[in-house]
Amino acid sequence: MAMQKELIDKILKLKKKKKAVILVHNYQRPVIYKIADFIGDSLDLSIAATETTARIIVFCGVDFMAESAKILNPEKKVLLPTKAATCPMAAMINATALRKFKKRHPGAAVVCYINTTAEVKAESDICCTSRNAGEIVNSLPNKQIIFVPDIHLAEYVQTQTKKRIIPWKGYCYVHAAILAETIKEAKKSHPKAEVIAHPESPMEVLKLADHVCGTGGMIKYAKQSKAKEFIVATEEGMTNRLKLEVPGKKFYPAAGVCFNQKAVNLKNVYESLNREKYEIEVPEKVRIKAKKALDRMLEISID
């Protein structure tokens, strides 16, 4: 604990000296929350990235999040604390594969989940997050929508629109592993608990949920609900965030760990900030096109 406190103090001092801001995703370890300037979901962090006046952005999340921050802030230095903080789902599609897919569905608009690489965003019409996916899809004039890369989120969006959703068959390894049987057993153990589920989960899990939303929405829902207990169907770290934000209520995890998110720790955050590594770079041609997809999303979401 003494070593933890020492590292936290060093990071906070270095952050101030270097005019840096630290953005932290909800799935990070609780100790990482202690060095954060802002904690949130992908949409919250995208907005925060556009509003910061810092010289350096340290992104405690996974690679696509840091890339998004760089796309929106080309003049700033964006750092990812460790190269191990990748997103396997984002790696399930690339720009070449998407271009081929688009040729098979002419006339369809492309909506890419924010959990994608800069190159995939550059090939898309608009970006979305789990919070605003349905709203984004319904804002488009096209009757057919290519949705990449998460098939489970695509299936959920299909329930929110009359448009035809054409999904890519990617998935999040944490959410895809959540079983309906696990939720049923949790409800037996905690009969008074409500189920809140992330839309990256399989449809049979979502059908058992009292509320489906992204991680930011989970905090809002837990605060407003009359329930005192919740079964949380998303990466288990979210229960730590909920306990901090909604004290007095109980939260039971119903999913596993994202080892990629947990690759970030105090030591590599300090090393990243101290040595200004690992810097995120996005080729300008790609960045400009990808920024259009993110800007379109932010215009709709902020309004």
For 6-39, what is each residue's pLDDT tens digit?
A: 999 999 999 999 999 999 999 999 999 999 999 9
Dist CA 55 CA 78 (whole Å): 9
Half-sphere exposure of 62 (CA within 13 A, CB side): 23
Count other C-beta atoms under 10 Å from residue 165's C-beta: 21
Residue type, 202: P
Nearest to 122 by CA among 283, 288, 282: 288
Q: Is the pTM of this model over 0.75?
A: yes
C-alpha dihedral (24, 29, 34, 36), degrees to nearest 10: 0
85: exposed, middle or buried (C-beta count within 10 Å: 0-12, 13-18, 19+)? buried
Dist CA 110 CA 145 (whole Å): 6
Domains, the chain, ordered by start: 2-84+261-282 (3.40.50.10800), 90-172+285-302 (3.40.50.10800), 178-253 (3.40.50.10800)
Nearest to 245 by CA among 24, 58, 32, 33: 33
Question: Using an 8 Å Cβ cutoff, are 180 and 204 in contact?
Answer: yes
Q: For the chain, what is the total number of helices (H) and then of strands (E)? A: 15, 12
Question: Using an 8 Å Cβ cutoff, are 102 and 142 in contact?
Answer: no
Question: pLDDT digits over 102-139, tens only?
Answer: 999 999 999 999 999 999 999 999 999 999 999 999 99
> From first to last of its 303 residues, what are the pLDDT tens digits of the chain?
778 999 999 999 999 999 999 999 999 999 999 999 999 988 788 889 889 999 999 999 999 999 999 999 999 999 999 999 999 999 999 999 999 999 999 999 999 999 999 999 999 999 999 999 999 999 999 999 999 999 999 999 999 999 999 999 999 999 999 999 999 999 999 999 999 999 999 999 999 999 999 999 999 999 999 999 999 999 999 999 999 999 999 999 999 999 999 999 999 999 999 999 999 999 999 999 999 999 999 998 755
Residues in the chain: 303
Count other C-beta atoms under 10 Å from residue 163's C-beta: 20
Dist CA 166 CA 41 (whole Å): 25
Question: Using an 8 Å Cβ cutoff, are 24 and 241 in contact?
Answer: no
Two tokens at 230? 């919740």
Q: Write out the H or E segment, with its range, that includes residue 184.
A: helix 180-189
